[in-house]
């Protein structure tokens, strides 16, 4: 073996050893235990549950604000067949919100249902409007079907929508529960 080849191998060996030392030091000194969340919230911030639940953990109230009779019952059955705890709310034609004439749906929720509302939002392919009520005490999500609603998407479309939405975003003036 030539002197140049020996020198090159020695240099490569030195670089590998140096890299191994730096990686070892970085792993030993690393003090992170997982994802970092803010330890302190603003003094007037509302603590919310932003955990994305499974469908079976979500309680839905479905309202029909469209001119199609019986739509809330049909959609409630669709949600129930997908694993949700869904009930029809017979407040039609006056659901607890102005009729969403230009919307697919309105999703209303409180602090205990931020993650659940995010999941439900995926079932409307992110074309719904959110209404957060910081004073609401229950864990239910209200779905008010709007005039532009046509049908619930397929399972594949929902999974793609969940992927596109990412992690739940916190409403303004809130802080995630630790």
78-126 per-position pLDDT tens digit: 999 999 988 887 654 445 556 666 789 999 999 999 999 999 999 999 9
Q: What is the pLDDT of residue 96?
A: 56
Angle between helices 114-122 and 155-165 (to 10 degrees): 130
Peptide bond into 93 cis (omega under 30): yes
C-alpha torsion 161→162→163→166, nearest 10: 120
Q: What is the pLDDT of residue 177?
A: 76
pTM of the model: 0.71
Q: What is the pLDDT of residue 9?
A: 92
Measured distance CA(114)–CA(20) in Å, rounded: 44
* 144, pLDDT greater than 50: yes
Neighbours of 103 (CB within 10 A): 18
Q: What is the mean pLDDT of residues 128-136?
A: 90
Query: Could you report the per-residue pLDDT of 3-58, keeping only the tens digit for each?
Result: 899 999 999 999 999 999 999 998 888 876 655 555 567 777 888 888 889 999 99
Q: What is the pLDDT of residue 172?
A: 86
Which residue has 């235990």 as its token pair? 33
Locate 54 and state its tokens. Answer: 């499974």
Bridge partners of 131?
A: 108
């Amino acid at each position: 073996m030539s002197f140049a080849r020996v020198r090159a191998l020695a240099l490569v060996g030195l670089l590998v050893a140096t890299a191994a030392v730096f990686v070892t030091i970085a792993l030993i000194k690393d003090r992170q235990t997982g994802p970092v969340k803010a330890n302190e919230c603003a003094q007037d911030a509302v603590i919310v549950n932003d955990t994305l639940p499974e469908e079976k953990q979500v309680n839905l109230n479905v309202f029909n604000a469209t001119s199609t009779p019986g739509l809330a019952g049909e959609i409630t059955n669709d949600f129930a067949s997908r694993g949700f705890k869904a009930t029809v709310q017979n407040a039609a034609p006056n659901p607890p919100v102005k009729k969403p004439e230009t919307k697919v749906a309105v999703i209303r929720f409180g602090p205990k249902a931020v993650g659940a509302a995010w999941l439900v939002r995926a079932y409307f392919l992110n074309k719904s409007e959110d209404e957060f009520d910081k004073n609401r005490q229950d864990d239910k999500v209200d779905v008010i079907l709007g005039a532009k609603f046509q049908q619930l998407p397929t399972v594949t479309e929902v999974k793609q929508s969940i992927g596109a939405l990412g992690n739940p975003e916190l409403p303004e003036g809130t802080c995630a529960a630790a």
